[in-house]
Structures are given as C-alpha cells and as structure tokens.
C-alpha cells in the first residue's frame, strides 16, 4: 500500500504564482466562517473580491465596514470569473438551482468541501471549471495564520478542467488565501469528502468530545468532584494535544512521566479496542455508500429535528454546565 509522503503531490508558494488570477474577479458567496476569512486573505493578496449576500443577510454592514463590496448574489454572478461557494453545504444546492441559469462559459466554480459535487447535488454544465480549495482548519485560523505570514494547509482538487488551467487556478487561489505557505495537497473531490466526513465524525467532533464526556461522567458517577473530573478529562486535553501536535507521539511519551507513559500505552488499546475499529470501518462504509449523506439530507429537510434534539441533550449535560461556569461562556 502506497502511504509515504513521496507519493503525495504537495505544492508550496515557490511552486505557484498569483498571475493567473491577478486579473480575475472573485465572488465569495457567504460571509461566515470561511467566507470572511478567505475574502480578507484574497483581498490582502491584491485579488479583486465581491461578497455575494442574500437580500435579508445580516452581513451587509459588516462587509462594508471591513472595506469589501457586498452585492446581491445574482447580480454579482454576472460580473465575476471565479465563484466561491462558502455557505452551509446542506443549503448550497438550493442556492445553485436559483442561480445556475446565470452562469456563463469559462467561469470557475470553487468549493471548500467536495460534498455537493461528489454527492451530485450540484451538477454544473460542461463548459466551466470545477475546482476545490479546502482549508484544513476553521476560518478564524485561516485568517489568523495569514496575518502572521503563515497559513493553514489546503486540499486542492480538480473535478472539471474546461479551461485547461484549472489546477493552476486552484493553486493560485490557495496561494492567495495562504494555503501554499503551509502546503497544498493534491487530492480529489471524493477523497476530500469521504476523509473529511470520517475525520469530523470519528475523531474531531464525534470521538474526542464523546471520549472526554464519557470519561468525565465515569469519574463523577464514581463519586469524584465534577470540577476535578473536568480538569483531568477536559482541561488537560489542550496541553497534551499541543504537545504531541508539535513533537509527535513518541517524543510526547518521553516528555511525560513514566507512570503516565506505562498507563497510557497499556490502557489505550483497551479503550480503542477492536470493536471500536470495527465501528470505524462501518462509519467509513456509511459515508461511502451514502447512508450518512441520506440521513443528513433528510434531517436538513425535516428542519434539523434530529440535530436539534442532540444539541439540546448536549447543552443540558452536567459537563456543559461545568464548562459554562468555569470558562464563563
């Protein structure tokens, strides 16, 4: 199995140039997490940016105050070369169906997640480019890193190359938002979509938060003070993640006590047991066979009924109440 970095194609600032997008106008649809960050980075890189908003958007004043140009989406589409879709994935296809008749030959559609193209919710015409520049991090970090002359890595991909320049354009956009400062990895819409969903479900937004809260509950149910459980199972997570993010797991084990090293290595395999691995394999299959996609689309159609129930359960938990009190959030 090919797994070494040698088999990956990575592009840095020195491999790419802004030239190909220098004279192109970019429409950023949406001014949320990614929209705001990418628009500001593009603008600071000298790229001409318009922000596309809906009529009743709450962002009109904010965009103007930040010295960018807001415009109604259908009007803006007629003026630009690159259209970057930075609104929630589950509403993107609805918006696309309202504006697709306005698209013209040679325009470039750009996504920061492969979801709508890979699952065929959006099916653009053949005479345009379809590319992806997906930052591996939240918008806030994309902006903060850029301001420090650094960047967040990007996954880039080309789904449709009508112009023959699609990859160059994706790389130039990545450079303009700071991605190639850290590295832009060549991927595909399929790979980005499936691995991104798997990562957020199994590790980032599912596995880690549930591991922390379950461990917290076990300690509280065993009679320990909630505040002590909170510090041990939650507060210390950031410290250890920062450490192994910087130096890797091996050196992290050298930097902790031998008692923690022995206990961690001995118990880790019991917590993340073979049953857990089997469940992870089921989850990647549910992503690949579209079961997850169908259930999320259904819930979005049902006014997020299931999502809202889960959010209420989460916010009523003792763990969440502790966090509110201690972090004053």
Ligand X SMILES: NC(=O)c1ccc[n+]([C@@H]2O[C@H](COP(=O)([O-])OP(=O)(O)OC[C@H]3O[C@@H](n4cnc5c(N)ncnc54)[C@H](OP(=O)(O)O)[C@@H]3O)[C@@H](O)[C@H]2O)c1
# residues near ligand X by CB under 6 A: 23
Binding of ligand X by 40 (CB under 6 A): no
Q: Are 33 and 138 in contact (CB under 8 A)?
A: yes
Binding of ligand X by 49 (CB under 6 A): no
Residue nearest ligand X, Cβ-based: 32
Question: In the 8-state DSSP scheme, what is residue 6?
Answer: G
- Min separation Cβ 56 and ligand X, Å: 7
Among 12, 59, 206, 211, binds ligand X (CB under 6 A): 59
Among 11, 31, 230, 296, binds ligand X (CB under 6 A): 31
- Min separation Cβ 220 and ligand X, Å: 31
Q: Which of residues 95-114 bind ligand X (CB under 6 A)?
A: 95, 112-113
Binding of ligand X by 54 (CB under 6 A): yes
Q: Are 121 and 67 in contact (CB under 8 A)?
A: no
Beta strands in 143-238 (DSSP E): 154-160, 184-186
**Biggest distance spanned by C-alpha atoms of the chain:** 67
Binding of ligand X by 43 (CB under 6 A): no
**Looking at beta carbons only, is 141 or 211 nearer to ligand X?**
141
Question: In the 8-state DSSP scheme, what is residue 148?
Answer: T
Binding of ligand X by 208 (CB under 6 A): no
Kindly write down the DSSP assignment for every residue of 61-96, as one continuous string.
Answer: HHHHHTT-EEEEHHHHHTT-SEEEE-S-HHHHHHHH
Question: In the 8-state DSSP scheme, what is residue 7?
Answer: G
Binding of ligand X by 45 (CB under 6 A): no
Where does residue 223 rank: exposed (0-12), middle (13-18), buried (19+ CB within 10 A)? exposed
Where does residue 192 rank: exposed (0-12), middle (13-18), buried (19+ CB within 10 A)? buried
Question: In the 8-state DSSP scheme, what is residue 126?
Answer: T
**Looking at beta carbons only, is 170 or 220 nearer to ligand X?**
170
Catalytic residue (one of 49, 76, 89, 113): 113
Among 3, 7, 58, 258, binds ligand X (CB under 6 A): 58
266's CB contacts (< 8 A; 6+ apart) are none
Q: Which of residues 131-190 bind ligand X (CB under 6 A)?
A: 134-135, 138-139
Q: Is 159 a catalytic residue?
A: no
13's CB contacts (< 8 A; 6+ apart) are 175, 180, 181
**Looking at beta carbons only, is 54 or 121 nearer to ligand X?**
54
Among 74, 88, 248, 268, binds ligand X (CB under 6 A): 88
Binding of ligand X by 201 (CB under 6 A): no
Interface with ligand X (CB under 6 A): 30-35, 53-54, 57-59, 86-89, 91, 95, 112-113, 134-135, 138-139
Active site positions, annotated: 113
């Amino acid at each position: 199995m090919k797994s070494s970095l040698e088999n990956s194609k990575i592009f840095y600032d020195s491999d790419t140039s802004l030239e190909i997008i220098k004279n192109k106008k970019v429409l950023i649809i949406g001014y949320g997490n990614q929209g705001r960050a990418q628009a500001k980075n593009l603008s600071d890189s000298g790229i001409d940016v318009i922000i596309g908003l809906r009529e009743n958007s709450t962002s009109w004043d904010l965009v103007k105050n930040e010295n960018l140009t807001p415009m109604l989406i259908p009007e803006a589409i007629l003026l630009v070369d690159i259209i970057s879709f930075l609104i929630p994935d589950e509403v993107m296809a609805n918006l696309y169906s309202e504006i697709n008749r306005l698209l013209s030959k040679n325009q470039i559609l750009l996504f920061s997640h492969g979801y709508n193209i890979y699952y065929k919710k959006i099916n653009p015409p053949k005479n345009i480019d379809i590319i992806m520049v997906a930052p591996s991090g939240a918008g806030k970090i994309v902006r903060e890193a850029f301001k420090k002359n650094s960047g967040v890595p990007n996954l880039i991909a080309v789904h449709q190359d009508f112009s023959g320049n699609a990859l160059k354009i994706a790389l130039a956009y990545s450079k303009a938002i700071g991605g190639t400062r850290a590295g832009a990895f060549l991927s595909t819409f399929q790979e980005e979509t499936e691995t991104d969903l798997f990562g957020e479900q199994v590790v980032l937004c599912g596995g880690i938060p549930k591991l922390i809260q379950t461990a917290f509950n076990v300690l509280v149910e065993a009679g320990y003070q909630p505040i002590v459980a909170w510090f041990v199972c939650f507060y210390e997570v950031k410290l250890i993640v920062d450490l192994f993010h910087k130096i890797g797991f091996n050196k992290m084990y050298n930097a902790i006590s031998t008692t923690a090293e022995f206990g961690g290595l001995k118990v880790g395999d019991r917590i993340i047991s073979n049953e857990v691995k089997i469940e992870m394999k089921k989850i990647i299959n549910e992503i690949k066979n579209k079961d997850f996609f169908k259930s999320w689309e259904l819930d979005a159609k049902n006014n997020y009924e299931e999502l809202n129930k889960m959010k209420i359960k989460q916010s009523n938990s003792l763990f969440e109440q502790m966090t509110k009190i201690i972090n004053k959030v």
